[in-house]
Every structure is written in structure tokens, then in C-alpha cells.
Amino acid sequence: MSKPPKSESLTLAGPAGRLEAILETPQDGEPSALVVLCHPHPLYYGTMRNKVMHTLSRAFVGEGFAALRFNFRGVGKSTGLHDNGHGETDDALAALQWLRRRWPTLPWWLGGFSFGAMIALKCALQEAPQGLVTIAPPFAKYAGELAGQPACPWLVVQGDRDELVAIDSVVSWMDALEPGPELLVMEDTDHFFHSKLVLLREAVADFIRDTR
């Protein structure tokens, strides 16, 4: 069994004030890559401490990454007010800048769950990550805000019984992309991946290993 990661509670400077964050790194040695992870919708109790977010972080740290989770503006101890995805994108970019300054020579990825998946994609369209992982992405809802697709390897994980993000809408949105991301559909799986978190972690770790 792998050792738990080292964990550091942080306060970062964000565009609307402070950003509450958690940095997790491998217990043994220095990280070999970086990832910023974005949490679910702030107005529906989404935070960086969500179980899927925790699972994503552990998947990345297990593959040697330093994983940075943070609370969007207005969530937890982060200051500011919800900004319908616009300010939240700026928050994520600020978190990314902080992480890259700490380890300026390492490759970096982006990831997110639900609303956070959309924010991660928006950031990936502005920057140039080496990889992108998006879990239960409500992209069809925000299609008007998303132009094109990132050039990096990209994984979409979707539950076939997602009660909040219809799988048909995800597939329809992806069909319009060329070549589009890799899609993994998990059977008997709801939006929050209840009883499926271990499988989710393994799937993300497999994608990282296959891509790097």
C-alpha cells in the first residue's frame, strides 16, 4: 500500500484576495510533475475537500505529481464572490502560476470535477498543459464559452447513471470535436462516483502512466 502524501495547507494570493489551498506531494522524494485541480460548483456545496477531488489528488500524487487543490473565491476561507465561471477561471490560473513558480522546470497538468472540469478546460485553452483530466464535465451547458480544444492528451470520465450531467449530452458535445478527448464511461456510476472512487483513481492513474 502506498504511503499517504505529504500535505501542506496554504493561503495563495488570488485575483479577488486570498485563496485557501492544499498542496499534496509524494512522501518520498521530489515531485516529477505538477497538477492543479478544480472543484465542483461553489453554489452547490462544491469545495476542494470533495471526495472526488481527494481521489483525483491521490491518483496524481501516486504517480509522482505535486497536486494543488484550492477553494474558488467565496468558498471556505477564500475571499470574494462567485463569478459564474469567469473569476473562477482567473482563480485557477493564479493557482497554476503559483505552482509553476515553485517548480518552474516541471511539466504540468490540469484537472477538475463537474463545474471544475469546465474551469480546467477553459484554463487549458488559454495555456498549454501537458495533460488534462476532466471528470463528469457539464461541457454541453457551457459550450458557448468553450472554443476549440487543447492540444494535449485529454481524458473525460463519465458515469452512465449521472443524474446531473447526462451522458448523451457529453457524447454529443464530444462528437463535435476532432480528434476529441479519450472517453471512459463507468458503468452503474452516478455523478459523485459513490462506491466507485477506487476505480476512478485507478482509471486516472492508468491514463497518466499511459500518457507520460
Q: What CATH code is carried by the domain that includes residue 71? A: 3.40.50.1820
- The answer to whether residue 156 sits within a structural domain is yes
Per-residue pLDDT, 1: 47
Which residues, at least 6 apart from 145, have a Cβ–Cβ distance to it below 8 Å?
85, 118, 122
- The answer to whether residue 49 sits within a structural domain is yes
Q: How far apart are CA 211 and CA 152, in angstroms?
A: 10
Q: How far apart are CA 210 and CA 201, in angstroms?
A: 14
* 105, 126 contact by CB (below 8 A): no
**What Å distances lie between residue 51 and 19, 79, 120, 192, CA to CA?**
20, 23, 18, 8
- The answer to whether residue 169 sits within a structural domain is yes
- The three-class DSSP label of residue 131 is strand
Task: Tell me which residues of the chain have a pLDDT lower than 50.
Answer: 1
- The answer to whether residue 1 sits within a structural domain is no
pTM over 0.75: yes
Per-residue pLDDT, 88: 98
Per-residue pLDDT, 136: 97
Per-residue pLDDT, 2: 65
Q: Which of 106, 98, 105 is nearest to 69 (CA)?
A: 98
- The answer to whether residue 133 sits within a structural domain is yes
- The answer to whether residue 84 sits within a structural domain is yes
Per-residue pLDDT, 58: 97
Instruction: Supply the range of the domain harboring residue 96.
Output: 6-211
- The answer to whether residue 103 sits within a structural domain is yes
Domain count, the chain: 1
